[in-house]
Structure 1
Amino acid sequence: MKLGLQLGYWGAQPPHNHAELVDAAETFGFDTVFTAEAWGSDAYVPLAWWGSRTERLRLGTSVIQMSARTPTACAMAALTLDHLSGGRHIVGLGVSGPQVVEGWYGQSFAKPLARTREYIDIMRQVWARQAPVTSDGPHYPLPYAGEKATGLGKPLKPIVHPLRADLPVFLGAEGPKNIALAAEIADGWLPLFYTPRMADTYNSWLDEGFARPGARHTRETFEICATAQIVLTDDPAAAYAAIKPFLALYMGGMGSEDTNFHAEVYRRMGYAEVVDEVTALFRAGRKDEAAQIIPDAVVDDSAIVGDEAHVREQIKVWEEAGVTTMLVTPGSVQEIQQLAKLVE
């Protein structure tokens, strides 16, 4: 089992301790550091900034929102960082949701699976640099041929020769179709709320993708980098209480009341009644109550909370389920050192 440091995205202010966390992850043998974005800080600037302090860690985005950049712009950023890091970059992509895509980026959310396929194809054309980049669309036509086109658009190849002709692409995917797509066209899967209890279900969705013509990987070569709340503690009740507001936000406050992809994950996990109650309370402004009604078992399903023996045991369970990297969010150098010892 490998460990990845998930720095996430910023809150109201830049975090104060990310430099020391990245240094510790490099020192104590973590495999990867990941950054994210929502509608505040972007993912690439912090990743390059903190990545410049490292020599060994892989540098990933988990995730960048496709609608934030055209596919060629994303490919440019990726090939640039890959050069600067000596070939250590992982491009983690996600479609986000209609509230962000249409409300923040001013673009259509329609046909997310088809857009993802087209987006990745264009990026791989850029990195391969075998011919000028073109796309028949319909989502990202190159050259542009819309009503306002000048007709002067010209297919181009990147000026810079990419360090690697085929950078790894991971997909942040939550639904069955998107997970199957990840197995077909990507190099890894970035699940946010993963439970080893449903490994057989996940594997059936992944196997659908692996079986498609032209699939890039088999199960043996495909990476699953799962976000994992790991809390080493002799006081599980306090840890559950600290995690529940985060779950309430994602379960009841993200997206809209009837379109929340994170909530659907928990519905598929068998917690539809909990999701409905949390959503109703959260949308009514009763956020504390929404968190308090989440049962400990719901937290336990996608987190590991307990003493060292319990955490070691559960890490093995996740590994046996197929997870290759656990993305963790330690808050201190001491926590990073403790986690590193658990996977030695």
Structure 2
Amino acid sequence: MTAYSVLVPFLPRRPEQLLPYAALVEWTAARRLWQGQAMLIEPFQGFASAAGAGFRVPTGVGVTLMALRHPYEAAHQVRSLALATGEPVVAGFGPGGRQFQESVLSRPYASPLTASREYLTIVRGLLEQGAVDFDGEYFSCHGAMPPAIHPRVDLGLGVLRAGMARLAGEVADVGITWLTPAGYLRDVILPALREGASRAGRQTPRLTAMVPLALAGPDRDPEKLVLASNAAHMQAPHYIDMLKKAGIELAGDASVADAKSMLHGKAFLYGGLEEIRAELDAYREIGVDEVILNLTGVYNLYGPQAAMADLRKLLAAAA
């Protein structure tokens, strides 16, 4: 059965801004509170702060960028969050775009797949065996972590295209997608996940989809909502390539025409409550395990109360 979760639809500047969303997860059928990489309040610290305020809920970080921390530090942060919340954590990692890699590392990963494999190998070794002795092309670690009993931690990879999906099938517990239409998940991502898992002789990882959406309203412009939610991604080469493979051609200029293409291709869902519920059912029918409701566009254009109202309606309908 597909679970529904909540994405924090903005970049918090103070940790208390997370509390209404943590409360929503605690008091509704939502499974987990998610946040992507943030350059203001760091996600691991923000979630730990919410736990300190009394809202200890399952959390997901999807995805934090590998170039920002060594895998030992990543394992330490993940385990610290599980200990602080007392709840399960999904820790998603990804290499990020080439421009970001170059800005942080001086040059991009020649092979993001190899870098991602090495990263998860070290993090998993530290969390599950307590020690690693590993030399890689991009990441190495020879060390141990002190033992600790903690809630379940699942490791995820950010997945946009078939190559990373096959790798996730081999080494991850969860494949985490962003801006990926249900049909593309069915035709490209899920078969690649299964292929990778079969090659490694392991169970197919769960699939989690972050889905940008908005409920229709008389004052709402769907094209503006698309751009308020995803304009930056719609100009990034790796997203443009993924969307092209999904049958959505973008000029890459964050124009109204590109926004219309996103709506037509179901990369952004817009409509009445019943219409949205039917569109979300498509993710359930193809086998997506967790759908993360992304109301960033609503938040950016209409404010926090409108985003929270949409989330409550969507979660009630899903339940």
TM-score, normalised relative to structure 2: 0.86
Aligned-pair CA distance for 1:8: 5.5
Is residue 304 of structure 2 the alignment partner of residue 341 of structure 1? no
Is residue 146 of structure 2 the alignment partner of residue 138 of structure 1? no
Q: Deviations over 1:38-76 (max 9, x none)?
A: 555432111222244465631110111111111111001
SS in structure 1 at match of 2:232:
helix
Listed as ranges, the matches of 1:298-317 within 5 Å are 298-300=262-264, 301-317=266-282
Q: Deviations over 1:52-104 (max 9, x none)?
A: 44656311101111111111110011111111222421111111022112203
Cα distance in 2 for partners of 1:105, 1:34 equals: 27
The residue aligned with 2:298 is: none
Unaligned runs of 5+ in 1: 144-155, 255-259, 283-289
- Distance change (3 Å), C-alpha of 1:9 and 1:71: farther
Amino acid at match of 1:299: L
Unaligned runs of 5+ in 2: 296-303
Amino acid at match of 1:157: A
Amino acid at match of 2:289: T
Q: Where is the strand percentage greater, Structure 1 or Structure 2?
A: 2
RMSD of the TM alignment (CA)? 2.5
Cα distance in 2 for partners of 1:204, 1:314 equals: 21
Compare CA radii of gyration and give the structure with the larger one: 1
Amino acid at match of 1:305: Y
Cα distance in 1 for partners of 2:105, 2:42 equals: 13
Cα distance in 2 for partners of 1:229, 1:98 equals: 24
- Distance change (3 Å), C-alpha of 1:318 and 1:327: same
Q: Deviations over 1:91-139 (max 9, x none)?
A: 1111102211220354642211111111111112211235x42102222
- Distance change (3 Å), C-alpha of 1:134 and 1:162: farther
Cα distance in 1 for partners of 2:20, 2:39 equals: 25
Aligned-pair CA distance for 1:241: 2.4
Report % sequence identity.
18
Q: Is the 8 A contact 1:68 1:105 kept in 2?
A: no
Pick aligned residue for 1:269 from 243, 246, 250: 246
SS in structure 2 at match of 1:133:
strand
Aligned-pair CA distance for 1:335: 2.2
SS in structure 1 at match of 2:153:
coil
Aligned-pair CA distance for 1:261: 0.8
The residue aligned with 1:4 is: 5
Is residue 187 of structure 2 the alignment partner of residue 186 of structure 1? no
The residue aligned with 1:318 is: 283
